[in-house]
Amino acid sequence: MLKRTLACALFAITGHAYSADIQVTTLVDEDKDDAVCSLREAVEFINKRNQTAFENGYHGCGNKEASSIIVLERDKQYTLNKALEIKSAMTIMTASSGDFRDDKKGIHNATIKMIGTERLFLINDGSVENALISVMFNELNLQGSATKMNDGGLIYNREALNIQYSRLMGGNAVRGGAIYNAGILSDAQKTAGIVLISNSILQSNKADQGAVIYTEMPIYNISHSVIRDNEVIASSTGALIFTQTGFTDETIGTALLTRTSGIRNSTIFHNKGGYVANIREGMIFNNVTMIKNAAGLYLQAANWNVPASGTTTTSSVPSAYVSNNIRSLA
């Protein structure tokens, strides 16, 4: 009896939590006052839910009890005419399979496709004083347009972005074919974006620099993912994953200790035009298989000047680490 009661209670709790999520009920990109909830309307509701006019929902999306989770239907394609601007913390995800143990994550993703001439997402709350907002994309296929952007073919990010079990495809930009990650670390301002990618595929993206990611600082971490068939314009410093500025002597130690920057446990295959990545100060590149790429790694990390304890002198030590990798051009 106790087990049955607990099971019923857990079912009720789970059902209530799921019912509070925002269900997108149309595949088209629209913003009009009706009972149908589009992806654009769902994002707009979460962006503005703290305003009185939005507290009871917006154009068929959400209410006071709604979570900040937007749910898309499995195996469906949602089109966008223009970019979605994300200004508040939220999750956009494909509906769960309902299985207790889902061993097919990433197989039945919803697709978000740009049919206009812009990138898919602009993630920026516009504040340099507030903490970064958390944005998660879970089990999504992101498909870019044929139009070449300046920065970020699929995503322009200045917040804390976490991507899991997703595919990022067809982005095209001058900088950051798939993702442009903006911001420089500062004690006074919270402006440096963060990108975490795991269990995902980044494929067929193009850029003059940074076909997969162009990041102003190396605040990205890619793990258990596949990077393939991307193309960067060939140059002496062209790279699929390009970092503009490394960490400073004051911040290298924290970056290495927390292992927040770099790539690990991933495969990089059949990419064209440039280096896999330029390695800047504070980065760790570990257990990565690189096969049939145009070039390997571009080592660009100056030594780290570490103050000696109790003295005014410094010692010079490595500021980045590359280890346990496999590389083949064949």
User: How far is residue 50's CA from residue 64's CA, in Å, rounded to a whole number?
Assistant: 10
Q: Is the pLDDT of residue 9 over 70?
A: no
When pLDDT is cut at 50, 70 and 90, the band that residue 188 belongs to is: low
Q: Is the pLDDT of residue 250 over 60?
A: yes
Question: Residue 196: beta bridge partners?
Answer: 162, 221
Spell out a b/e string for 107-116, using b for 16 or more CB atoms within 10 Å of the CB, else e. Answer: eebbbbbbee
User: How far is residue 257's CA from residue 274's CA, in Å, rounded to a whole number?
Assistant: 29
Identify the pLDDT of residue 255: 87
User: How far is residue 227's CA from residue 54's CA, in Å, rounded to a whole number?
Assistant: 40
Query: Which of 213, 90, 111, 221 has its CA nearest to residue 155?
Result: 213
User: How far is residue 60's CA from residue 245's CA, in Å, rounded to a whole number?
Assistant: 44
Amino acid letter, residue 79: T
φ, ψ of residue 42 to 5 degrees: the values are: -65, -45
pLDDT tens digit sequence for 201-234: 999 999 999 999 999 999 999 999 999 999 998 7
Q: Looking at per-residue confidence, does 222 or 328 come out higher?
A: 222
Identify the pLDDT of residue 161: 98
pLDDT tens digit sequence for 20-78: 999 999 999 999 999 999 999 999 999 999 999 998 999 999 999 999 999 999 999 99
pLDDT tens digit sequence for 277-304: 999 999 999 999 999 999 999 999 988 8
pLDDT tens digit sequence for 126-143: 988 889 999 999 999 999
- Structural element, H or E, at residue 124: none
Amino acid letter, residue 43: V
User: How far is residue 24's CA from residue 72's CA, in Å, rounded to a whole number?
Assistant: 6
Identify the pLDDT of residue 16: 35
Average pLDDT over all residues of the chain: 90
